[in-house]
């Protein structure tokens, strides 16, 4: 502690301000980092975490251990991160949007309060969804789809990967904005949704571009629109939904994946990790690896991620309100 | 490319030393993790995933596939010797394999399992090569109504196995279905019987249920009853070699099992489980003395083992021809391809023929390796039974805990397996069949989901089950089976 201000101390203060992240917690990281992932090894969120943590380990000079704790749509991963938090600030997690935005609404109680227990570090990547139909459906474009859906109440049936999943909520948001009502058929994986669309059992589905693309290439499916604000690099020919077929110009629905820490983690550590991950995501090779599994790098500040959580919680909360009111 | 050219290309690719080594590695690792109860192909493939970044996509796929079907061989070992099945399929093998081991015929049971696995795999490969296109069309033609009807047929057909009295069998299926209700309901998103525990949101852990009901219950039973210990000492070569009668009893069950497995394996989801149970039920039905089943009938090992191995091969049909993974392990393998920049999908066969045919060829090579690897190992496995029980049982329990923990990494599941083991012991005392409980547990939620999904899609019209030709066929078969059973029961009463 400095009790007497001296010139040297003043200089030290100035330096400390510049190099605050490095000095505030000397010697961090003091051991291996543990990153909790709420999905099984080999799944898309898991591969994303590995793509980021491999260079991260090099930069920090400490190994980064991925802890796969799958279950409950990623909620168990967040719970386990909080349960294993320590004083050394070595416990983190990567998660998709669900556990931080809609899970509390869908499950009633997740065992954590996102605002109070979670410290966002940075957004890592986003993924839009595409609206896919069978090739032989006779629907040519988004306008045709909206017209077919408007032909009657629940004239079209769509598949999702579960109640409250991004695919479900996105479809309901779309239906609401387009002024139509569609029949929701929940499945458990995009593989099942794809089979059901190709088999002609259901009409459509909002899907991950990487799940739909191979079927489009083979001529058994087509993509009518994408939910991002701009065309997506993995499916550049697919038009954005916003502004088409009577949908609002600001229509946008994306899944995202971010790095989080338990609340109480040193601000300097969060700052340091944010900087490292942002630099990692600037590497074109990393961006390409992410794109191959359907994610577009989208780093930002910790505050920006906190805002995104808040905005999405409100937006999807409104969609859930409308679904429950039906 | 014709089938013949394709196979030749595939063989020359798969036999390259740089590729062959990964096939060898895969099947060896597969056997190893299969033997370790509960640590299935899923855990092994997850562990291998980082290694695959450093080898070619083709070699990676061949290695991971080797783990997948290799684990099917290994799975039989723990179920036959120790009654420790890690999957519902190997639980079927334990039904007669374990009684065989207890009566000193462990070697014969293992031989039957290995030989049947090999024959089943080879027939599976044949079907994959000749009928892949047809099977993949069949797989997409199956809708929710068809799955629901098919699984009801499976339940009805299998309900007679493993229990002397049908009422007891039905009770176990019903209990299994009730246990299957625990967790998040797919259709409504409602959480059922979770008591606020997030660990239960995805339901009861299947591995914990299988190992608790069989392995842990068996350990408890043997500890309580010292007379049941020490059966398997001193096994000479003579008891290990199959008798002529054993060999005579194996070929037909193998063929029937492999046919069932080849077809059901291609259907995403439960093909393998369903075909094992169906094969067992079929063998029991056609047998001259059905009462031998459950007490060490070699047909009860041979048929289901051929079925689950052929199903493990044809399970690749939707994955390879449509790029649609049939189960989570397949999804994991496809994930490995994506990391290599290979987009799995319907175009893969044309875009990368060496991958498809190389894999098919590696199935043949891998299964041959597995047979050669496993036959000499039988002696070593059997000698495991000579380990004194005071050492064996704690080891078993440690392996059970490891296996259960390896699935999700939650201590909750270890507590669960202990509780399930105790319940399993009580059920065994009352002579209830745990295998049927497992079947109900696996099929129950799927029947419910598909039944409700079919009715949702048909907008509530139950006629959908008769209007769809596939489903109508299954409904007819269910009716025929029920009538047959009723007729047999009536005739017996006279």
User: Cβ of B46 and A214 within 8 Å?
Assistant: no
Q: Is the pLDDT of residue B239 over 70?
A: no
User: In this structure, what token pair is assigned to residue B132?
Assistant: 């892949």
Nearest CA to CA, how far is B51 from chain A (Å)? 12
**Counting every residue, how long is chain A?**
326
Strands A157-160 vs A204-207: parallel, antiparallel or unpaired: parallel
Between CA B27 and CA B70 the distance in angstroms is 5
User: Cβ of A68 and B409 within 8 Å?
Assistant: yes
Which residues of A fall within a CB distance of 8 Å from B196?
A: 109
CB-count exposure of residue B477 (10 Å: 0-12, 13-18, 19+):
middle
- Find the range with the poorest average confidence among B324-328, B354-358, B428-432: B324-328
Per DSSP (E only), the strands in A106-203 are 118-128, 130-134, 157-160, 183-186
- pTM of the shown model: 0.83
Residue of B nearest to A106 (CA): B189
Instruction: List Cα–Cα distances, A293 to A231, A297, B136, B333, B426, in angstroms.
Output: 17, 11, 25, 14, 48
Q: Is the dihedral of CA A277, B328, B205, B374 positive or negative?
A: negative
pLDDT attached to residue B199: 83
User: Cβ of B140 and A195 within 8 Å?
Assistant: yes
Nearest CA to CA, how far is B415 from chain A (Å)? 17
Map out the domains of chain B as residue ranges: 3-493
**Cβ proximity of A70 and A77 under 8 Å:** yes
ipTM over 0.85 threshold: no
pLDDT by residue for chain A (326 residues), tens only, comes to 344 444 444 444 444 444 444 444 568 888 999 999 998 877 889 889 999 999 999 999 999 999 888 888 899 899 999 999 988 899 999 999 999 999 988 887 888 999 899 999 999 999 999 999 999 888 999 999 999 999 988 899 999 998 888 999 999 999 999 999 999 999 988 888 998 999 899 999 999 888 888 889 888 999 999 999 888 888 888 999 998 888 899 899 999 999 999 999 999 999 999 999 999 999 999 998 898 888 999 999 999 999 999 999 999 999 999 888 87
User: Does B451 touch chain A if contact means CB atoms closer than 8 Å?
Assistant: no
Residue of B nearest to A188 (CA): B186
Which residues of A fall within a CB distance of 8 Å from B46?
A: 40-42, 68
Q: Is the pLDDT of residue B30 over 80?
A: yes
Greatest distance between any 2 Cα atoms in chain A: 81
Residue B187 confidence class, pLDDT cut points 50, 70, 90: confident
- How many beta-carbon pairs under 8 angstroms link A with B? 135
CB-count exposure of residue B141 (10 Å: 0-12, 13-18, 19+):
middle
Interface-testing mutation among B202, B345, B406, B445, with chain A (most A C-beta atoms within 10 A): B345
Interface of A with B in 51-80 (CB under 8 A): 67-72, 75-76, 79
Q: What is the dihedral of CA B54, B55, B58, B61, to 10 degrees?
A: -60
Residue of A nearest to B333 (CA): A42
Alpha helix (H) residue ranges in B384-468? 389-408, 411-429, 434-457, 464-467
User: Cβ of A187 and B141 within 8 Å?
Assistant: no
User: Cβ of A292 and B328 within 8 Å?
Assistant: no
Interface of A with B in 184-243 (CB under 8 A): 185-189, 191-192, 194-196, 198-199, 201-202, 210, 213-215, 217-218, 220
User: Cβ of B268 and A202 within 8 Å?
Assistant: no
pLDDT attached to residue B1: 61
β-partners of residue A260 are A93, A120
pLDDT attached to residue B21: 94
Between CA B186 and CA B444 the distance in angstroms is 13
Q: Which residues contact B236 (CB under 8 A, 6 or more apart)?
A: none
> Which domains are assigned to chain A?
30-126+254-323 (3.40.190.150), 130-252 (3.40.190.10)
β-partners of residue B360 are none
**Cβ proximity of A73 and A113 under 8 Å:** no
pLDDT attached to residue A9: 47
Query: Starting from the edge strand earliest in sequence, which strands make up the sheet with A296-297, in order?
Result: A64-68, A33-37, A91-96, A254-262, A118-128, A296-297
Q: Which residues contact A109 (CB under 8 A, 6 or more apart)?
A: B196
User: Does B349 touch chain A if contact means CB atoms closer than 8 Å?
Assistant: no
Which residues of A fall within a CB distance of 8 Å from B202?
A: 71-72
User: In this structure, what token pair is assigned to residue A119?
Assistant: 């410290």
Using alpha carbons only, what angle is made at residue B2 by residues B1 and B5, rounded to the nearest 5 degrees?
85
Residue B487 confidence class, pLDDT cut points 50, 70, 90: confident
Interface of B with A in 374-433 (CB under 8 A): 408-410
Give the residue carrying structure tokens 């339940």.
B155
Between CA A182 and CA A179 the distance in angstroms is 10
pLDDT attached to residue A14: 46
User: Cβ of A199 and B50 within 8 Å?
Assistant: no
Residue A230 phi, psi (nearest 5): -130, 160
**Cβ proximity of A59 and A2 under 8 Å:** no
- The percentage of chain B sitting over the pLDDT mark of 90, rounded to a whole number, equals 34
């Amino acid at each position: 502690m400095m009790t007497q201000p001296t010139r040297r101390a003043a200089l030290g203060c100035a330096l400390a301000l510049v190099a605050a992240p490095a000095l505030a917690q000397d010697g961090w990281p003091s051991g291996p980092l543990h990153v909790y992932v709420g999905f099984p090894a080999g799944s898309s969120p898991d591969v994303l975490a590995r793509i980021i943590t491999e260079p991260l380990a090099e930069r920090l000079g400490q190994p980064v251990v991925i802890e796969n704790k799958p279950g409950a749509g990623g909620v168990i991963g967040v719970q386990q991160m909080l349960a294993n938090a320590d004083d050394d600030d070595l416990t983190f997690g990567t998660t998709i949007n669900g556990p931080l935005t809609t899970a509390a609404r869908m499950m009633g109680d997740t065992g954590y309060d996102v605002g109070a227990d979670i410290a966002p570090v940075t957004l890592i990547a986003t993924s839009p969804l595409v609206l896919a139909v069978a090739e032989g459906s006779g629907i040519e474009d988004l306008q045709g789809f909206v017209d077919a859906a408007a032909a009657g109440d629940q004239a079209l049936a769509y598949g999702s990967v579960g109640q409250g999943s991004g695919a479900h909520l996105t479809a309901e948001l779309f239906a609401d904005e387009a002024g139509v009502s569609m029949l929701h058929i929940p499945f458990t994986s995009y593989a099942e949704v794809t089979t059901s669309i190709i088999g002609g059992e259901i009409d459509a589905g909002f899907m991950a571009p990487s799940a739909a693309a191979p079927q489009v290439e083979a001529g058994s499916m087509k993509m009518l629109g994408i939910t991002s604000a701009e065309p997506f690099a993995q499916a550049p020919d697919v038009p954005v939904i916003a502004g088409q077929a009577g949908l609002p110009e600001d229509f946008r629905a994306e899944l995202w994946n971010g790095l989080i820490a338990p609340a109480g983690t040193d601000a300097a550590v969060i700052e340091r990790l944010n900087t490292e991950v942002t630099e990692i995501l600037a590497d074109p090779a990393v961006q390409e690896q992410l794109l191959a599994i359907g994610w577009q790098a989208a780093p930002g500040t910790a505050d920006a991620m906190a805002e995104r959580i808040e905005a999405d919680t409100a937006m999807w909360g409104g969609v859930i309100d409308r679904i429950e009111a039906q | 490319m014709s089938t013949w050219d394709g196979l030749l290309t595939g063989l020359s690719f798969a036999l390259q030393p740089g590729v062959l080594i990964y096939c060898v590695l895969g099947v060896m690792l597969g056997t190893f993790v299969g033997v370790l109860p509960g640590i299935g192909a899923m855990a092994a493939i997850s562990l291998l995933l980082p290694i695959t970044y450093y080898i070619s996509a083709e070699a990676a796929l061949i290695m991971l596939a080797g783990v997948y079907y290799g684990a099917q061989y290994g799975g039989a070992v723990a179920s036959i010797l120790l009654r420790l099945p890690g999957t519902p399929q190997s639980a079927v093998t334990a039904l007669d394999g374990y009684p065989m081991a207890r009566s000193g015929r462990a070697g014969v049971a293992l031989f039957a399992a290995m030989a049947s696995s090999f024959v089943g795999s080879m027939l599976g490969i044949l079907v994959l090569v000749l009928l892949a296109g047809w099977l993949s069309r069949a797989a997409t033609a199956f809708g929710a109504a068809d799955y629901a009807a098919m699984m009801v047929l499976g339940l009805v057909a299998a309900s007679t196995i493993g229990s002397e009295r049908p009422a007891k069998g039905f009770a176990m299926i019903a209990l299994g279905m009730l246990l299957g209700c625990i967790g998040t309901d797919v259709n409504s998103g409602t959480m059922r019987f979770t008591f606020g525990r997030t660990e239960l949101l995805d339901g009861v852990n299947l591995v914990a249920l299988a190992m608790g009901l069989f392995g842990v219950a068996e350990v408890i039973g043997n500890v309580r009853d010292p007379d049941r210990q020490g059966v398997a000492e001193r096994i000479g070569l003579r008891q290990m070699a199959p008798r002529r009668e054993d060999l005579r009893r194996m070929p037909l069950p193998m063929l029937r099992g492999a046919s069932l497995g080849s077809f059901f394996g291609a259907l995403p989801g439960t093909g393998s489980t369903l075909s094992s149970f169906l094969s067992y039920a079929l063998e029991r039905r056609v047998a001259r003395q059905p009462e031998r089943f459950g007490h060490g009938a070699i047909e009860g090992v041979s048929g289901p083992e051929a079925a689950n191995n052929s199903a493990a091969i044809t399970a690749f049909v939707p994955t390879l021809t449509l790029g649609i993974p049939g189960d989570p392990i397949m999804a994991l393998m496809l994930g490995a391809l994506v990391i290599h920049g290979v987009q799995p999908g319907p175009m893969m066969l044309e875009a990368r023929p060496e991958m498809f045919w190389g894999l098919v060829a590696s199935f043949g090579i891998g299964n041959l390796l597995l047979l050669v690897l496993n036959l000499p190992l039988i002696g070593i496995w059997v000698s495991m039974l000579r380990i004194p029980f005071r050492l064996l049982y704690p080891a078993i329990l440690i392996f059970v805990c490891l296996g259960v923990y390896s699935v999700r990494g939650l201590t909750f599941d270890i507590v669960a397996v202990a509780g399930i083991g105790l319940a399993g012991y009580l059920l065994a005392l009352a002579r209830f069949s745990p295998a049927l409980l497992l079947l109900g547990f696996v099929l129950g939620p799927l029947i419910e989901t598909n039944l409700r999904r079919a009715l949702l899609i048909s907008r509530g019209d139950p006629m959908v089950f008769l209007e769809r030709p596939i489903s109508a066929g299954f409904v007819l078969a269910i009716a025929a089976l029920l009538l047959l059973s009723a007729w047999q029961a009536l005739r017996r009463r006279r």
